[in-house]
Amino acid sequence: MELSAAMPSPSTESAPTERADARGVLEAHGALARRYRQVRERTERLLAPLSSEDCQVQSMPDASPAKWHAAHTSWFFETFVLAPRLAGYRAFDASYAYLFNSYYDSVGPRVARDRRGLLTRPALAEVLRYREHVDRHVARLCAEAELPPELCDVLEVGLNHEEQHQELFLTDLKHALAQNPREPAYAPAPEGPRGPRAPRAPAAPLAFVPYAGGLVEIGHAGAGFAFDNERPRHRVFLEPFELASRAVTNAEFLEFVRAGGYAEPRLWLSDGWAERERGGWSAPLYWREQDGEWSSFTLAGRRPLDPTEPVVHVSYYEAEAYAAWAGARLPTEAEWEHAASGVAPDGHFQDSGRYHPAPAAHDPSGRPAALFGDVWEWTASAYAAYPGFEPWRGSLGEYNGKFMANQMVLRGGSCASPAGHLRASYRNFFHPHARWQFSGVRLAR
Amino acid sequence: MELSAAMPSPSTESAPTERADARGVLEAHGALARRYRQVRERTERLLAPLSSEDCQVQSMPDASPAKWHAAHTSWFFETFVLAPRLAGYRAFDASYAYLFNSYYDSVGPRVARDRRGLLTRPALAEVLRYREHVDRHVARLCAEAELPPELCDVLEVGLNHEEQHQELFLTDLKHALAQNPREPAYAPAPEGPRGPRAPRAPAAPLAFVPYAGGLVEIGHAGAGFAFDNERPRHRVFLEPFELASRAVTNAEFLEFVRAGGYAEPRLWLSDGWAERERGGWSAPLYWREQDGEWSSFTLAGRRPLDPTEPVVHVSYYEAEAYAAWAGARLPTEAEWEHAASGVAPDGHFQDSGRYHPAPAAHDPSGRPAALFGDVWEWTASAYAAYPGFEPWRGSLGEYNGKFMANQMVLRGGSCASPAGHLRASYRNFFHPHARWQFSGVRLAR
Amino acid sequence: MELSAAMPSPSTESAPTERADARGVLEAHGALARRYRQVRERTERLLAPLSSEDCQVQSMPDASPAKWHAAHTSWFFETFVLAPRLAGYRAFDASYAYLFNSYYDSVGPRVARDRRGLLTRPALAEVLRYREHVDRHVARLCAEAELPPELCDVLEVGLNHEEQHQELFLTDLKHALAQNPREPAYAPAPEGPRGPRAPRAPAAPLAFVPYAGGLVEIGHAGAGFAFDNERPRHRVFLEPFELASRAVTNAEFLEFVRAGGYAEPRLWLSDGWAERERGGWSAPLYWREQDGEWSSFTLAGRRPLDPTEPVVHVSYYEAEAYAAWAGARLPTEAEWEHAASGVAPDGHFQDSGRYHPAPAAHDPSGRPAALFGDVWEWTASAYAAYPGFEPWRGSLGEYNGKFMANQMVLRGGSCASPAGHLRASYRNFFHPHARWQFSGVRLAR
Amino acid sequence: MELSAAMPSPSTESAPTERADARGVLEAHGALARRYRQVRERTERLLAPLSSEDCQVQSMPDASPAKWHAAHTSWFFETFVLAPRLAGYRAFDASYAYLFNSYYDSVGPRVARDRRGLLTRPALAEVLRYREHVDRHVARLCAEAELPPELCDVLEVGLNHEEQHQELFLTDLKHALAQNPREPAYAPAPEGPRGPRAPRAPAAPLAFVPYAGGLVEIGHAGAGFAFDNERPRHRVFLEPFELASRAVTNAEFLEFVRAGGYAEPRLWLSDGWAERERGGWSAPLYWREQDGEWSSFTLAGRRPLDPTEPVVHVSYYEAEAYAAWAGARLPTEAEWEHAASGVAPDGHFQDSGRYHPAPAAHDPSGRPAALFGDVWEWTASAYAAYPGFEPWRGSLGEYNGKFMANQMVLRGGSCASPAGHLRASYRNFFHPHARWQFSGVRLAR
């Protein structure tokens, strides 16, 4: 996922008749304003436990400082909503256009991505004032009687954008804290239904659920929000396939490790093996073995490896090698989406406060369990344009399209995704060597 | 294309009933032996104009020395044909198993790819003796009455493998010669129908040929040779599309250059722009501008840019940026193959001795011209397994499958491919930044 | 200068008779305790204007975060004074031994130098508590009646060590702030005798002061504090030489720039030219040209270049190239020290609060002016052991000796050095490509 | 040693009165012409056992292909002798000025050093014709009646330059052959007085020879040839010192290896330790341990380590760490030269055909043995200008001066140096991490 977002798809904008009477509009405004407040407050709640120092650091070029996430998401509203739409709006600080642009070439030049951690000024406190400033002006805009549909659409994009950054915030923070030899915790692990660290029964045996395939449709359809890369809905022909009933667990992945999976090049893609050697990988990111005991760093600190949880923080290469070893393969994104259509996008998300996958669920009905939440599931599909893909118009056209090379699609969201953010057609994407995301493995065959 | 090849797919080819009576077998043996000699001799003809020094050098990690190509292709026959099949065969030199293995982990360790140019011993002369030794033993094997079908299959793989290396030989040699400030020629440009360097009429205007799409089949079918990655034949659903009547020409690409295409990040994929900056690209590889005149390095030396020839030596990123600028896109490999099915795989290949694309052809019937030969055509498809893909059995299973990440498919062959090597289902693949191949652009929309 | 310090040289320690009666000891203790407080408070005063974020950042591997400087200097006292000498002392935090060790292999492993900026915990506030904890215990130790001479010596080392870090703090901070596109100031430039930014007369013309040379002595002699690398005092034979009356000014260096000095390889050392190309140098660090006007970034923000100030932030390579261009050379360290002997180590130091060199001084007596302070002066001498050099005993032996390769000696201190820290025999040292120090040029011939 | 050479120092040599009458001149011409032939033929004899491939390869940026050495030494005579001095001389090939210039900025641009191995054209045969062409014209020049003294001087520089390249040829070739897994030999080890590989008595015990020091003179004096960096002769004050009676042997160095010397950072310079980690050093270059037996690659192939030979192929860092471990130090170059003055520069040089150090010699008179030949001896002195140093005039001024940074001086020559090339004042120099030279260790204290 390359973050910072985009304009509504062509059709919705131009369909004013779908937007009903004035009263409906006002209610819609009210709902949008409420959602705006909720999303923005969630970001600030996530920041609350951290010191200014925690929010400053950038632990690698791919990750961004927490402070930068907080500022950039505000810059997004300022740039795409306030500046063009609120008469007389004056930027909070002219330099922010340069400091907090992520990658919008059409908006202008910017600080190089790997130098975000060098910006000690503005301080976190000033960034929080910036957020407040932007919020006050968005509220003023929302209070206006006539909120044009396109504007609602861009606001909705901005909110989805901020939700994506909420996940990245947790992901990047975890990486940053893990660099500290003291391995500090971000938040204690909550007790509760999916949380306690007590001994528990092994995960349900892995089963494969059959699908007949045929000519199916994937991609977003209907009126709700979706990113441009989920469109248009289109037909795909699928051979019959089977999808695993749950994600691969730590216990299963540990078997692969112990069987020498990281020492056998024949299991790996050629580029994957090279990456393994470059990085010295011998287990998933954040795993460590000491005196025969395996543990894993989590946002609640280092903990013994729970065999029943889905494995997380594996690259595409590791997922693929595991599948080869297990005599299976990864699903394509079309297979995954087909299996997920009609399934409610419920699951274990960020709002649990656990920030770590929960033990593997089991669906007694025999359907694949936990397709949504817990861990992003790598697919065998390279991220590419759907037939007839049209990027959003204007600068927001840079949101998704320009990343369509060298990345693999992940589906389903994770324990770090905000609840309500996911849907069956949602496409996340990362380079195949990326491991710092909450990414796991679901097999197919 | 990652080179060095593989065993036939499990069942279909080995059906003995397809292989007729003893007489037919003998004839088939004769044909195979003849083809073996032809292919091997072609390699030696390609080497003939070069000095030992020319054959020694490795100009970058992706390229291999000519001497290495000559030895490795022989190692292939020695390892996969002679050692397992010819009773009492003794290796020409035991160290060659290490020196000339390309990437077969199941065969054993080997010299690192980027160190092939450091092997001054064996000298070229010894490698030529090695070739002769291998040829003599293969001939002896072929003279045996009972040549089992599987062995014929592996021999056929070896010949296709050597043909691939014949193209790589030219490609790598061109890169090596281009490093020399004197820019020496490999061979003079032949005169003839497609060759002369005289002023000529502009290429025919670009037209787009419509296809209805629908549920089509792609992949190799039938009895002839094909690589494992071309199988199995399977159904794909295509939306209606249009394919360009010819490849993009130098004249057209020069317009893109002059319009500032290399200075406008909004036209480029994000990874492509980064690569452009890293490499300082401002035009296709081997192009140079001096006093307003553009020229290009060819295997016949540096020549003025011919506006009517297809542009060649562009990366996927450049192809994609050009397409964006031209308001079009690249075809998917399924679209390309669908358009090419039923078209005879004729075209301008290596055997012309020109080693450079010929001026763009035009098909008066209105169909896409020159789908085969001249330049490899980048597709928008990432290189991936077809549904139900099964790698060849044994070591040859490493031929293709392990490269299915981060590479894009190219179709159609080039002026450096041996005639007879191509077919509609043939899939070549390279990383999207690769430019030293004879790769060009055909648009779709 | 590689920072973090060391034990007194063998002889002084063992000369108890030099340390007089009990009363003198008590007075000495009092003076030492007072000096301890002064030095420690100065560090905290330097930190005061900064935010937690400012103190967190590490702008390059060679630089350290301000917070790290504050912690490491305390770790030094904890490790070399409190732990071995104060009965029952308990470390403030056991993990600090790992986090804040700089390079003492004999003390134990440590955070890699280029990862200091990743330590968001402990926060600055906790580090300040750490300082207080250490100070309280050192005070308790000093209050004891019997403070053995060796302990006084180590305390003195610790104070000199902290003074070195005070300079590094400013140097590293300047580099960090300069990475911010807003170029924020650390502190406003003070007005006053050497400070105002008013137009002024050009610097006095450069003159060369002759010295007869001969067999002279250099190195530290006598009872005061000195680092081990300044010892032993020894004889050196000098040919007659001349030393410049003042440092090279910005006006003079700008002439070199304008004359194409950065484009002429023949003026440069071979390694220097390679470094120039790698770094894209075209002027001293922090200089910038806009519309024909040159400015320089200072700790008071960006300011127009003052032609009368000494040039600062040049590497050894630039100093050497300038000297070649000017038909002169750099002095050896022996020449410099010989010229500086008998000169009081006064000058423009950190305590002015200006943190930037002052306009070039002129000594009406005709002697070289401002040998001390303003800018460190590169010498032509590689940093090496004096004949008979003995490193301090124990861990502090790692203070200086292990850096005796690839570095050049600088002399005289700078506007960032604490007053009272310098002397004629003082040897600073940096790699010849280093530019972020307050380093300048004095010519010889 | 940075190779390719320079003009005599301004005044002294050109004193015509020292050059006597016409007859003497003619005889001198004859001697010079004879010496020219001998030196040039030696280069060709060294090349004779090699294939074109062997002469083509460049195994690392610091090394050059044998073919390049052969061409560059001829370019030197063409550029500095023939072009300016022989009326009507026409260059053999105009492109060679670019291809075979090493580093003379004042002569013009050139192929980047790390790309010399990419020049497959001209082939070796053409380079040999180039040599012949140059020789023929030099002979014609020498036949002229009036050969001005300056010209003789430049010819002498060119011959010394070629002798330096003869050593580099062997050094670079050894590195290239060592990259081949087959570890081919260049030449068989000759039998003879110093050669046989029979069991032999241990080296004589190491003794230290005392010198009183005082005010001594070093640097070249008198009429014979010397490089500019050996001048002027000047006074240096030396403390009393002791120099080892012989170089450190393999047996002694192996003790260091076995005692964990490569695992103990406290023995190493800080930069040295970093280099050790970067390179993964655990023994001298070309050493290998297998089943408890140590061997070393030589130009006669891999051989068991001879405990009595001087250790060779160690970097300055390893030499320095060894000395620290042995409780000694390396000599300064002034100490070394002082000890070597008056000693005839005899020793074991290239002309033995052994190309490997001979077992440590012992001087029964108690003086340091084998100061010349066998292994270059690292000194503790950084390579710098002598007081009053004047580079040769013109382009040859680039011969030595621009390398005076980051390099350490070595003295005495090696088994790869041509006999007659060395003298007590001769200064060789390399970066402290360089290990591919025939460099060893002599201790001092």
Min mean pLDDT across A54-63, C52-61, C193-202 is at: C193-202
Interval A109-146: pLDDT, tens: 999 999 999 999 999 999 999 999 999 999 999 887 67
Cβ neighbours of D99 in B, within 8 Å: 181-182
Q: What is the pLDDT of residue B189?
A: 82
Mark yes or no for CB contact A432/B406 under 8 Å. Answer: yes
**Residue D422 Cα distances to B314, B389, D164, D344, angstroms:** 55, 69, 10, 10
Of C56, C99, C179, the CB nearest to A53: C56
Mark yes or no for CB contact A57/C56 under 8 Å. Answer: yes
**Chain mean position to CA A146:** 33
A222: confidence class by pLDDT, cuts 50, 70, 90: confident
Phi, psi at A209, each rounded to 5°:
-100, 125
Q: Tell me the count of B-D CB pairs closer than 8 A.
A: 84
Of D118, D179, D184, the CB nearest to B59: D118
Higher-pLDDT residue of A239, A148: A239
d(CA A435, CA A442): 16
Cβ of B99 under 8 Å from any chain D Cβ? yes
CA distance A242 to chain C (A): 45
Encoding tokens for residue D57? 């390869």
Query: ipTM of the assembly?
Result: 0.93
CA distance B124 to chain D (A): 8
Cβ neighbours of D317 in C, within 8 Å: 405
Q: Tell me the count of A-C CB pairs closer than 8 A.
A: 84
Contacts of B117 (CB under 8 A, 6+ apart): B56, B57, B58, B59, B65, B68, D57, D117
Q: What is the pLDDT of residue C23?
A: 56
Share of chain C above pLDDT 70, in %: 91
Q: What is the pLDDT of residue A360?
A: 86
Cβ neighbours of D179 in B, within 8 Å: 115, 118-119
Q: What is the pLDDT of residue C15?
A: 34
CA distance C110 to chain A (A): 10
d(CA C59, CA A68): 17
> Residue range A87-101: average pLDDT?
95
| Parts of chain B with a pLDDT under 70 | 1-28, 145, 191-200
Share of chain A above pLDDT 90, in %: 82
Residue of A nearest to B239 (CA): A387
> Residue range D202-221: average pLDDT?
95
pLDDT at D191 over 80: no
Choosing among A100, A116, A118, which should be mutated to test the C contact, i.e. which has the most C CBs within 10 A?
Answer: A118
pLDDT at A339 over 90: yes
Cβ neighbours of C117 in A, within 8 Å: 57, 117
Contacts of B184 (CB under 8 A, 6+ apart): B177, B301, D121
Cβ neighbours of B266 in A, within 8 Å: 105-106, 398
Mark yes or no for CB contact C384/D387 under 8 Å. Answer: no
Cβ neighbours of C57 in A, within 8 Å: 56, 117-118, 120
Mark yes or no for CB contact D121/B56 under 8 Å. Answer: no
Mark yes or no for CB contact C103/D270 under 8 Å. Answer: yes
Cβ of C180 under 8 Å from any chain D Cβ? no
3-state SS of B36-96 is HHHHHHHHHHHHCCCCHHHHHCCCCCCCCCHHHHHHHHHHHHHHHHHHHHCCCCCCCCCCH
Q: What is the pLDDT of residue A18?
A: 39
Task: For residue D373, give the DSSP letter.
Answer: B
Q: Do D363 and D369 form a contact (C-beta atoms < 8 A)? A: yes
Residue of A nearest to B395 (CA): A266
Q: What is the pLDDT of residue A6?
A: 37
Mark yes or no for CB contact B236/A239 under 8 Å. Answer: no
d(CA B339, CA B335): 6
Residue of B nearest to A316 (CA): B405
> Residue range A200-222: average pLDDT?
92
Cβ of D177 under 8 Å from any chain B Cβ? yes
On average, the pLDDT of chain A sits at: 91
Element housing A382 (H / E) = strand A376-382
Q: How many residues does chain D have?
A: 445
A320: confidence class by pLDDT, cuts 50, 70, 90: very high
d(CA D420, CA B256): 64
Q: What is the pLDDT of residue D142?
A: 87
> Residue range A369-377: average pLDDT?
97
Encoding tokens for residue D169? 């040829």
> Residue range A73-87: average pLDDT?
95
Rounded (5°) CA angle C321-C324-C327 = 150
A25: confidence class by pLDDT, cuts 50, 70, 90: low
d(CA A226, CA A206): 32
> Residue range A69-87: average pLDDT?
96
Cβ neighbours of C98 in A, within 8 Å: 181
Q: What is the pLDDT of residue A19?
A: 38
Interval C94-140: pLDDT, tens: 999 999 999 898 888 999 999 999 999 999 999 999 999 999 999 99
On average, the pLDDT of chain D sits at: 91
Cβ neighbours of D97 in B, within 8 Å: none
Interval C194-235: pLDDT, tens: 444 445 677 889 999 999 999 999 999 888 999 999 999 999
Mark yes or no for CB contact A98/C181 under 8 Å. Answer: yes
Interval B80-113: pLDDT, tens: 999 999 999 999 999 999 999 998 988 889 999 9
Element housing B289 (H / E) = strand B287-290
Tell if the pTM clears 0.95, that is, is over it.
no
Q: Do C338 and C403 form a contact (C-beta atoms < 8 A)? A: no
> Residue range A143-168: average pLDDT?
92
Q: What is the pLDDT of residue B354?
A: 95
Q: What is the pLDDT of residue C201?
A: 73
pLDDT at A8 over 60: no
Element housing A6 (H / E) = none
pLDDT at A172 over 90: yes
D31: confidence class by pLDDT, cuts 50, 70, 90: confident
